[in-house]
Chains A and B, each alone.
Chain A
């Protein structure tokens, strides 16, 4: 305990359960509201802190988006894709965090699942029997 540490005031309130991003969020499966897999949680985007301003008094950053897609490549091999190339799932869609992260919306209309839709519409749906239940 250095005097410096003492000067930090404890946070006023915890909103609820404390989660460790690395432990409880990253690399977990993301399911949509119907339990259909959407993607894996490849990375998180947090809100920006203001530049050149004293941090005292500025609110802590919050999670803005779940990231997937190219982010996985850069997370493994390093680097950072331009912001325009990120595939985002807005944090406000998240309804539950447990063994999996559950969204309150259908995955069908999310940007994150476009490769799935592309493969479905251009390849799999054209093969006979692809639209039917297995018998």
Chain B
């Protein structure tokens, strides 16, 4: 019984923790401009993150080594430092977007300027990282994040024309109002939002934090293989909501209030209240994850002591890095930079950075010294190689498409 509860809790937190500001904004933007025609990308991205996260979790559980230790060891100092530079900066960009997301969500609840919420949100994030146990932090934000299920409920309440919705999703075509280049640009953005690299830093380091062993692998596999696809369905629901309400009226997504608008139309005040709680939990949880990821990547590259399972004095430089990153995030947002804009760039840059972490993990997952008998099976390797090609193509195409489309304008 206790085991069953553990499995259920794991799945629920995986669903609730799946969405972040990148998914909220990108799915909504895509729905409001392209309808359901890009839903296939969400499906692809979810399969990709399942393969990738599962592999990095397995490597961490068996070898006790987290992602960036492996990146350093496999790529050597020179390549790894370039990788660290790119991964760290993109993670910092995502971190900034997530703090901005918390502030925007709090603005919805309070109508106080987001710029005023930013330092408050960042301080709360630091306090949790400083004092709260890893498992509690994960479970609370994950469970509250489940409030975002209202998006799925709203789709039904809005009584859409199901035939058109599914038709667009199953037989996608570029809408007449958009060009092929913007379509593919947003395809990459959506792919990047589903497969953000920080999730992998966080997932593998989290496996070390929670001291996973071989025994926990089944549980983690269930969490990933059930939780992530269900989280992906929420992402599709957000796109569907935007397709039903925002697309026909030509409403542009420039803030979280447009993301929540369809829910307001479907379920009124109560639904909005629930969606705001969900948004705060999702963005707050993702801020915690990206902040920790910034500490993880740097500490693992240099071989410093890291982890929330240690007291802050036992992992001093790790905690200092996170404090500095939060301060940088606050500083960037204090300039009045638009969090939604930062989010849109962060997901595309995430797609660009994906091969940097994906390849070393794939190599180590096949290394007997690390993995013993638990190296990748043939099926996993086949799927992983297909994704390696997709990730490389998306990564290479992202910058040219960004230039051609003027960042999706």
Which chain A residues have a beta carbon within 8 Å of chain B's beta carbons? 22, 26-30, 36-42, 68, 72, 75-76, 98-100, 115-117, 119-120, 123-125, 127, 129-135
Alpha-carbon separation in the docked complex, A26 to B306 (Å): 20
Contact B131 A129 (CB under 8 A): yes
Is B6 at the interface (CB under 8 A from chain A)? no
Query: In the complex, which residue of chain B has the Cβ closest to the Cβ of A120?
Result: B316
Query: In the complex, which residue of chain B has the Cβ closest to the Cβ of A31?
Result: B303
Task: Please pick, from B72, B130, B305, B306, the residue contacting A130 in the complex, using a CB distance under 8 A.
Answer: B130
Complex interface: chain B residues within 8 A of A120 (CB) = 313, 316
Complex interface: chain B residues within 8 A of A38 (CB) = 303
Contact B306 A27 (CB under 8 A): no
- Tell me how far the C-beta of B291 lies from the nearest C-beta in chain A, rounded to whole angstroms: 14
Complex interface: chain B residues within 8 A of A37 (CB) = 299, 303-306
Contact A116 B316 (CB under 8 A): yes
Knowing A37-B306, A129-B131, the reply to whether A124 touches B312 (Cβ < 8 A) is yes
Contact A99 B63 (CB under 8 A): yes
Contact A124 B313 (CB under 8 A): yes
**What 7 additional pairs, Cβ within 8 angstroms, besides A28-B73, A99-B65, A132-B131?**
A40-B303, A72-B302, A75-B77, A76-B81, A130-B319, A134-B130, A134-B134
Is B265 at the interface (CB under 8 A from chain A)? no
Task: Please pick, from B64, B80, B299, B312, the residue contacting A27 in the complex, using a CB distance under 8 A.
Answer: B80
- Tell me how far the C-beta of B305 lies from the nearest C-beta in chain A, rounded to whole angstroms: 5
Contact A36 B313 (CB under 8 A): no
Knowing A99-B369, A120-B316, A123-B316, the reply to whether A131 touches B304 (Cβ < 8 A) is no
Complex interface: chain B residues within 8 A of A36 (CB) = 305, 314
Knowing A29-B65, A39-B302, the reply to whether A76 touches B78 (Cβ < 8 A) is yes
Binary interface encoding of chain B residues 124-160 relative to chain A, with 1 for a CB under 8 A from any of its CBs, else 0:
0000001111100000000000000000000000000
Task: Please pick, from A41, A42, A117, A129, the residue contacting B312 in the complex, using a CB distance under 8 A.
Answer: A129
Q: Could you say which of B299, B306, B313, B320 has the most chain A C-beta atoms within 10 Å of its C-beta?
A: B313
The count of chain B contact residues (Cβ–Cβ below 8 Å) is 35
- Tell me how far the C-beta of B222 lies from the nearest C-beta in chain A, rounded to whole angstroms: 27
- Tell me how far the C-beta of A107 lies from the nearest C-beta in chain B, rounded to whole angstroms: 8
Contact A115 B133 (CB under 8 A): no
Knowing A36-B305, A40-B72, A119-B320, the reply to whether A125 touches B313 (Cβ < 8 A) is yes
Complex interface: chain A residues within 8 A of B58 (CB) = none
Contact B304 A76 (CB under 8 A): no
Alpha-carbon separation in the docked complex, A75 to B118 (Å): 40
Knowing A27-B76, A130-B311, the reply to whether A124 touches B319 (Cβ < 8 A) is yes
Query: In the complex, which residue of chain B has the Cβ closest to the Cβ of A72?
Result: B77
Alpha-carbon separation in the docked complex, A100 to B64 (Å): 10
Alpha-carbon separation in the docked complex, A117 to B316 (Å): 8
Q: Which of B2-26 touch A at CB < 8 Å?
A: none
- Tell me how far the C-beta of B356 lies from the nearest C-beta in chain A, rounded to whole angstroms: 16
Query: In the complex, which residue of chain A has the Cβ closest to the Cβ of B66?
Result: A29
Alpha-carbon separation in the docked complex, A98 to B72 (Å): 16
Complex interface: chain A residues within 8 A of B133 (CB) = 134-135
Contact A124 B73 (CB under 8 A): no
Complex interface: chain B residues within 8 A of A72 (CB) = 77, 302
Is B317 at the interface (CB under 8 A from chain A)? yes
- Tell me how far the C-beta of A42 lies from the nearest C-beta in chain B, rounded to whole angstroms: 7
Is B345 at the interface (CB under 8 A from chain A)? no
Q: Could you say which of A98, A125, A132, A134 has the most chain B C-beta atoms within 10 Å of its C-beta?
A: A134
Is B40 at the interface (CB under 8 A from chain A)? no
Query: In the complex, which residue of chain A has the Cβ closest to the Cβ of B311?
Result: A133
Query: In the complex, which residue of chain A has the Cβ closest to the Cβ of B364?
Result: A99
In the A-B complex, the 3 residue pairs with the smallest Cβ-Cβ separation, listed nearest first, are: A40-B303, A120-B316, A119-B316
Is B338 at the interface (CB under 8 A from chain A)? no
Alpha-carbon separation in the docked complex, A131 to B302 (Å): 23
Complex interface: chain B residues within 8 A of A39 (CB) = 302-304
Alpha-carbon separation in the docked complex, A63 to B299 (Å): 26
Complex interface: chain B residues within 8 A of A100 (CB) = 65
Task: Please pick, from B78, B131, B305, B370, the residue contacting A135 in the complex, using a CB distance under 8 A.
Answer: B131
Interchain Cβ contacts under 8 Å between A and B, 22 examples: A29-B73, A36-B305, A37-B299, A37-B306, A40-B303, A41-B303, A42-B77, A76-B77, A98-B369, A99-B64, A99-B369, A100-B65, A115-B317, A124-B312, A127-B130, A129-B312, A130-B313, A130-B319, A134-B131, A134-B132, A134-B134, A135-B133
- Tell me how far the C-beta of A70 lies from the nearest C-beta in chain B, rounded to whole angstroms: 12
Alpha-carbon separation in the docked complex, A22 to B302 (Å): 17
Q: Could you say which of B130, B305, B308 has the most chain A C-beta atoms within 10 Å of its C-beta?
A: B305
- Tell me how far the C-beta of A134 lies from the nearest C-beta in chain B, rounded to whole angstroms: 5
Complex interface: chain A residues within 8 A of B305 (CB) = 36-37, 116
Alpha-carbon separation in the docked complex, A27 to B83 (Å): 14
